[in-house]
Amino acid sequence: MALTNSQHDYLMRIYEQKQLDNENRLRRRFDEVYQKIPEIKTLDNSISELSLEQARRLLDGDEDALTILKQKLHLLFERKKELLTDNGYPSDYLEKDYSCPDCKDTGYVDGKKCHCFQKAAIDYLYTQSNLQEILDRENFNTCSLEYYSSNHIDRLTGRSSLEAMKTALKTCHEFVDTFSTDFRNILMYGDTGVGKTFLSHCIAKELLEQSYSVIYFTASQLFDILAKYTFEKDADAGLAHDHVLDCDLLIIDDLGTEFANSFTTSQLFICLNERILRKKSTLISTNLALEDIRNIYSERIFSRITSTYTVLRMTGDDIRIQKKLMNKY
């Protein structure tokens, strides 16, 4: 998830354009107000002259100059606000209107990337990848139940694949609808090709459109990033690691397809546990059975998942094969 230099420069140009647009918008507002309320222009001139006068007095050693300046400026600014509101304008009409007040549209706060920059970086990387195109195809609006049979009965639960999908779909909708108020996690497990990844795409699209930061990784991609952070310790790896731990929703797809070892097990626990402590939601999809998750990733991880995740079992015939058969015949 780290930005290249050219990608970083592209985003910074967007921030520079925001600042320029803000300056131009503010200049137009001043022209408008000066024409309609000439007294405000007179007040602004007085504020400038007063500031210069008091600055000279400070340089001359007048210790009371700053206090006097603050008192006089306060009266002038209050009069300015009064004139604005009397003429139908907001009292802050002649102040800059930042899209992000925290960084004042610079992208940085105290030398560190602002949360708005991190969100912009994630959105940009998604746009640059093929995920945006996938989300346009795979979302709640394109979801269909026609591939789920009421006759396909799961021997473990006694439920049909259709019933299981309806439950999963309802849970995913609730997850999105309550995302801003409820801290929840989801584990989707079961047969191959029954819609687990599709549902994760549905959730990702909905939350991205609500301006939440969503990161989607296959398990292999996630562990590659965690390995780079652990062993390389460079700035890009650190930023990517921060995104993994602090994004609003982390989606880990196909858990179990990576090469599992003691490193992946320990890193998975650290990642999941840290996100739980930060109240950041995680969605995991896997073809592994629950018993396999316990055996591969340890009792500790299994316990963490089953105690803090909504567990959805999905079964049925592989939809990709069904689609090919339908197209063929």
Q: What is the mean pLDDT of residues 144-160?
A: 91
Q: What whole-number distance in Å separates Cα of residue 155 and Cα of residue 193?
A: 18
In degrees, rounded to 5, the angle at the alpha carbon of residue 20 between the alpha carbons of residues 7 and 12 is 15
Percent of the chain with pLDDT over 70: 95
How confident is the model at residue 57, as a pLDDT? 76
pLDDT for 231-240, tens place per residue? 877 666 777 7
What average pLDDT does the structure give for the chain? 88
Q: Is the pLDDT of residue 127 over 70?
A: no
Domain ranges of the chain: 5-107, 129-328
* pLDDT interval class at 49 (50, 70, 90): confident
Q: Of 46, 45, 28, 25, whose CA–CA distance to 36 is shortest?
A: 28
pTM of the model: 0.69
How confident is the model at residue 130, as a pLDDT? 56
Q: What is the mean pLDDT of residues 166-191?
A: 96
* CA-based end-to-end distance of the chain: 42
Contact at 8 Å (CB) between 278 and 246?
Answer: yes
Q: Is the pLDDT of residue 2 over 70?
A: no
How confident is the model at residue 328, as a pLDDT? 46
Q: 129-328 in CATH: which number?
A: 3.40.50.300
Q: Is the pLDDT of residue 269 over 60?
A: yes
Phi/psi of residue 112, each to 5°? -115, 150
Q: What is the mean pLDDT of residues 242-253?
A: 90
Q: What is the mean pLDDT of residues 249-272?
A: 93
How confident is the model at residue 162, as a pLDDT? 95
Beta bridge partners of 304: none
How confident is the model at residue 70, as a pLDDT? 78
Q: Is the pLDDT of residue 220 over 80?
A: yes
Q: What whole-number distance in Å separates Cα of residue 325 and Cα of residue 211?
A: 39
Q: What whole-number distance in Å separates Cα of residue 73 and Cα of residue 92?
A: 16
Q: What whole-number distance in Å separates Cα of residue 256 and Cα of residue 134?
A: 23
Q: What is the mean pLDDT of residues 260-281?
A: 95
pLDDT for 61-75, tens place per residue? 776 767 777 788 888
At 283, is the secondary structure helix, strand, or coil? Answer: strand
CA distances from 67 to 52, 64, 71, 98, 188 (A): 14, 6, 6, 30, 64
DSSP for 247-269, please give it.
SSEEEEEEETSS---HHHHHHHH
